[in-house]
Structure 1
Amino acid sequence: MSRPIRRTRVVRALADEQGDVPGWVLITLMTAGLVIVVWGLAGPALSSIFESAIARVTGF
């Protein structure tokens, strides 16, 4: 296979690529869901750690 033919196939394949929009939407929604779940579970603990750290810094 010659080089120009191979390059033409690559260019044609890239031009035909429309992207996987539903896949990216699903990934985005799943990531947002994971962030919400983790934030809900770890939020109170992180908040108390932050408040105690600020109290130590401002206590001086």
Structure 2
Amino acid sequence: MPTLTGVLAALAALAERLRGEDPERGDVPGWVMITVMTAALVLAILIPFREAIVAAVTNALSSVTSGG
């Protein structure tokens, strides 16, 4: 699983490439910032609660497949 630092670095490199040579273009586009914030939020939730999430999904799937 990629680390948060790696994801942020990749997205920053993508934003820099999209920005191009035009100094008038401005800051990071909004969609890039939303993507970075979403990735950070998902990792912030997933890392500490991974075992609980896996247990909940496993429990839900086993209750559906066993018929009840």
TM-score range, shorter chain: 0.3 to 0.5
> Larger helix proportion, structure 1 or 2?
1
Q: Give TM-score, length-normalised by structure 2.
A: 0.43
Which has the higher relative contact order, 1 or 2, with Cα contacts under 8 A spaced 6 or more apart?
A: 2
